[in-house]
Structure 1
């Protein structure tokens, strides 16, 4: 009986490590579908930016406004043209108080409403 122990195995040939299999992951809940804002924009009373909550992104925002030529501008243009003032018939397109105001969300760009003159 020799008291000498066996030489260590060469590098890379150590005893294999017994890895245990990880427990399975718990089932993940299904993501809840978020409602999509689909529909016609509401009519907002006002020509100036207003504070509201965007129904599409859910943020508290101050609307971004844009002026667009609406029905009132075209009626005034047509009346001026029929009265023979065809040189002046394009002036209503330059007056903001005659134009419609569209309100948009600055975060997601969704149209939130329109203030129509007629």
Structure 2
């Protein structure tokens, strides 16, 4: 394919030359435009901090022996010294006792294991922030 270039300057080019403006250049060829130019990797300089440093102390929750009733502890969430709030939750033992009562045809007594606290686990919650603290599992 033969390249055709104008031999005479166009009106716009001659006007630009008269006014002292530089001539427009032709765009680069495809080979020049796609040639890989080596890019220098940026050098990272370490930033110096002069601000105050903060020390973070993580205190693991203490292993408190929770009992069947409320206990006095320090809440690991709100850090208040509180008496725990307890809530009874049925466990597999509670369901097994109810099943045995059904098998012995004591249908009127089936709800008793769900009403007696000694047949259920005791969940302890913070009295201030209501976070779960632990469970007392009855054996």
TM-score tier (shorter): 0.5 to 0.7
Higher relative contact order (CA 8 A, sep 6+): 1
**Which structure would you say has the larger Rg?**
2
Partner residue of 1:54 out of 75, 94, 97: 75
Q: Which runs of 4+ in 1 moved over 2 A?
A: 27-38, 42-45
Kindly state the Cα deviation for residue 96 of structure 1 after the two structures are TM-superposed: 1.6
- Normalising by structure 2, what TM-score? 0.52
Please provide the CA RMSD for this pair.
2.7
CA contact (8 A) 1:52 1:60 kept: yes
Q: Normalising by the residue count of structure 1, what TM-score does the alignment of the two structures yield?
A: 0.60
Q: Contact 2:72 / 2:83 at 8 angstroms: preserved in 1?
A: yes
Gaps of at least 5 residues in structure 2 are 1-49
- How many corresponding residue pairs? 90
Aligned twin of 1:106:
127
